Amino acid sequence: MITVTNLTKTYGPYRAVDDVSFACKPGAVTGFLGPNGAGKSTTMRIITGLTPPTAGDATIGGVHYRDIPNPGTQVGVLLDASAQHAGRTGREILTLSALTMGLPMTRVDEMLELVSLSPSESKRRVKNYSLGMRQRLGIANSLIGDPKILILDEPANGLDPAGIHWMRSLLRTYADRGGTVLLSSHLLHEIEVIADEILVIGEGKIVAGGTKAELLKTAGTYVQAEDASALSAAATSAGLTVLPSGEGLRIEADPVQIGRLAAEKGLVLTELRAADGAGLEEMFLQLTSETQRDGVTPLAAEQTTGGVA
Amino acid sequence: MSATAIESISTDRPGIPFTRLLSVELRKMFDTRAGRWLMISIAVLAVIAAVSVIAFAPDSAITYGTFGTAFGVPLNILLPVVAIMSVTAEWGQRTGLTTFTLVPHRASVIWSKVAAAVIVGLVAVVFAFVVGALGNIVGAAINGLDPVWDIDLAQFFTISLSFILALLLGFALGALFRNTAAAIVGYFVYGFVLPAVFGILAAFQDWFKDLQPWIDFNFAQTPLFEGNMTGQEWAQLGTSGLIWFVIPLTAGVLLILRSEVK
């Protein structure tokens, strides 16, 4: 069980983590979802004792990370797959961890096999590894001490779709055996594939949390019409709530109601389905566009051009 | 058995013994190409220094002391670099993220690094003395001379101490800056720029001339090479060492203990 209570981390006036509380249960994969810079990594560094919190507390099984004896054998951590000495081989990195934890060297080969790094790949220096290979090595490093709890920051970053599914089955088996997993991602798709429980974080605050089923269950209907504004007007005058959603609309009504409404008004629908997941996606897109600085507004663009000229 | 019981954290397991950390830190000094070549270059330079003395020194200078001075130059430059890199790699290569999650007690990591660097330093110093002795024997034989052994046992220890002090100073600067380039530049400023500045100051300012041995760590170390240190000279080594070694090391260690590892 990972327990985070009222955790806050400030850097001057900037609140990287703002009064965050959550718990990760054993037997489940908890996905920590948020745009880049939302506070996921900072929270994970605080849990593992690398960053001192400004306020609040984080414990694992009721204990502070630094009070866990030989922590690598109880908590597996991967915070940044690229944070390895470029001049060491993959095998050497695992060997150093095994030596530190006092494990037999056979664990190194077992882990290399588990993450499908071939003997020749394991003897290459990490600077010649792709990001996907570094992630596999990082996963191997986090699992080598046979821990019961895993903390993984962006572990699926750089993995191909087959790699993401491999990770899902790996973590699924791990959680089914009673393990606790906290993993982060800035991609909704990855979290949807891998996690059971989802925590959504934006600008340092937890904005939503629950099981995947709860969060993905969104009331209403997703619909696309040839004439979207006419459909929107018709639904609104019928007393229904209409929200924009991706390319189309989300209307708080059953699909059959919308179908009837469209037939009455003679409108052509191009897509009509229950709006599962659309709510989470809307929320996440909104969070992302609020926090991402590359969403250039016309005014900002004008000012930038003016500045250059 | 409930799932919670299966995954609870045990706090009564044995921790990580210091000897294990020490062996890991020693291994880290040799397991990269950069580290290995640094060690090889120390050995090679000690041999080159001995060969140069044989080739270029006049007969009268073929003494153990000359060989000692010759291998002293590469040791004084490279041993601090060994110590600096053992600390700064954790930040420069960001391996600290793994090191300090496996060993959350950062002080243990730091002391195991100090111990590992000192062990490597001692091995290098002994190796250099052996190479120097062989050079002295070979050089004397080639020139038809009797070998001159002008370094006694006490001097052997004080000279070794000066190399270890140089290495520890490098370690302190590495801990303070946590950046390889900055620490190496800092060491060169300390080792090559400051002696000149202090020398000029002492030459023109009488008040500084008396003060210099107490605050100039380089100056205070000179008697180590001559042997027969007096009590006052040890005291001067102590006060200047406090300024140039103890204070930076303490500040560096405190920074490492408190700072955020990213």
Q: List the domains of chain A with CATH numbers.
A: 2-216 (3.40.50.300), 221-275 (no CATH)
- Interface mutation target, options B1, B4, B6, B9, chain A, most CBs of A under 10 Å: B9
Task: Assign A8 to helix, strand or coil.
Answer: strand
Measure in Å the smallest separation between the Cα of B9 and chain A Cα atoms: 5
Q: CA separation (Å) from B175 to B115, B149, B178, B250? A: 14, 39, 5, 9
- Interface mutation target, options B7, B19, B85, B257, chain A, most CBs of A under 10 Å: B7
ipTM: 0.89
Q: Residue A99: list chain B partners with CB under 8 A.
A: 20, 23-24, 27
Task: Assign A12 to helix, strand or coil.
Answer: coil
- Between A and B, how many CB-CB pairs are < 8 A? 125
CB distance from A80 to chain B under 8 Å?
Answer: yes
What residues contact residue A251 under an 8 Å CB cut-off, 6+ apart?
Answer: A220, A221, A223, A235, A240, A241, A242, A243, A258
**Local confidence band at A302 (pLDDT 50, 70, 90 cut-offs):** very low
A26–B6 CB contact, under 8 Å: yes
In a domain, B8, yes or no: no
Compute the half-sphere exposure of residue A232: CA atoms within 13 Å on the CB side of its CA. 12
Residue A308, pLDDT above cutoff 50:
no
pLDDT of residue A244: 85
Residue A281, pLDDT above cutoff 90:
no
In a domain, B74, yes or no: yes
**Local confidence band at A290 (pLDDT 50, 70, 90 cut-offs):** low
pLDDT of residue A200: 92
Whole-number CA gyration radius for chain B: 22
Residue A301, pLDDT above cutoff 70:
no
In a domain, B5, yes or no: no
Closest C-alpha among A111, A115, A137 to residue A124: A137
Q: Closest to B11 (Cβ–Cβ): which among A69, A148, A149?
A: A69
| Total count of residues recorded for chain B | 262
CB distance from A130 to chain B under 8 Å?
Answer: no
pLDDT of residue A4: 97
**Local confidence band at A245 (pLDDT 50, 70, 90 cut-offs):** confident
Q: Residue A82: list chain B partners with CB under 8 A.
A: 94
In a domain, B4, yes or no: no
Burial profile B199-237: b = 16 or more Cβ within 10 angstroms, e = fewer:
eeebeeeeeeeeebbbbbbbbbbebbeeeebeeebeebb
| Structural tokens at position A139 | 């996963």
pLDDT of residue A303: 42
Q: CA separation (Å) from B172 to B117, B169, B194, B254? A: 12, 5, 17, 11
pLDDT of residue A75: 97
Give the A window 247-266 contacts with B, CB below 8 Å: none
pLDDT of residue A297: 46
Higher pLDDT, A80 or A192: A80
B260–A102 CB contact, under 8 Å: no
Segment A195-217 mean pLDDT = 88
In a domain, B1, yes or no: no
**3 state SS for B43-69:** HHHHHHHHHHHHHHCCHHHCEHHHHHH
CA-CA-CA-CA torsion sign (B119, B125, B127, B130):
negative
**Local confidence band at A291 (pLDDT 50, 70, 90 cut-offs):** low
Task: Assign B193 to helix, strand or coil.
Answer: helix
Q: Closest to A74 (Cβ–Cβ): which among B6, B10, B24?
A: B10
In a domain, B38, yes or no: yes
Chain segment A142-157, per-residue pLDDT in tens:
999 999 999 999 999 9
In a domain, B244, yes or no: yes
In a domain, B138, yes or no: yes
What residues contact residue B101 under an 8 Å CB cut-off, 6+ apart?
Answer: A48, A49, A50, A71, A72, A77, A79
What domain range is B92 assigned to? Answer: 16-258
Residue A295, pLDDT above cutoff 80:
no
Measure in Å the smallest separation between the Cα of B73 and chain A Cα atoms: 28
Mean of per-residue pLDDT scores for chain A: 89
The number of angstroms, rounded, from the C-alpha of B83 to the middle of its chain's C-alpha atoms is: 6
pLDDT of residue B75: 92
Q: Which residue of chain B has the CA closest to A75?
A: B9
DSSP, res A155: T
Per the CB < 8 A criterion, the answer to whether A143 and A166 are in contact is no
pLDDT of residue A296: 44
- What domain count does chain B have? 1
Residue A220, pLDDT above cutoff 90:
no
pLDDT of residue B126: 95
DSSP β-ladder status, A29-33 and A180-185: parallel
| Structural tokens at position B60 | 């009268």
Whole-number CA gyration radius for chain A: 23
Per the CB < 8 A criterion, the answer to whether B129 and B156 are in contact is yes
Task: Give the pLDDT means over successive 10-residue stretches in chain B (262 positions).
Answer: 56 93 96 91 94 91 91 91 94 93 96 96 95 94 90 90 94 95 94 90 90 91 85 94 92 92 88
End-to-end CA distance of chain A: 57
Per the CB < 8 A criterion, the answer to whether A113 and A79 are in contact is no
Closest C-alpha among A78, A15, A33 to residue A280: A33
CB distance from A119 to chain B under 8 Å?
Answer: no
CA distance A46 to A43: 5
Report the percent of chain A where pLDDT is more than 70: 92
Q: Phi/psi of residue A31, each to 5°? A: -100, 130
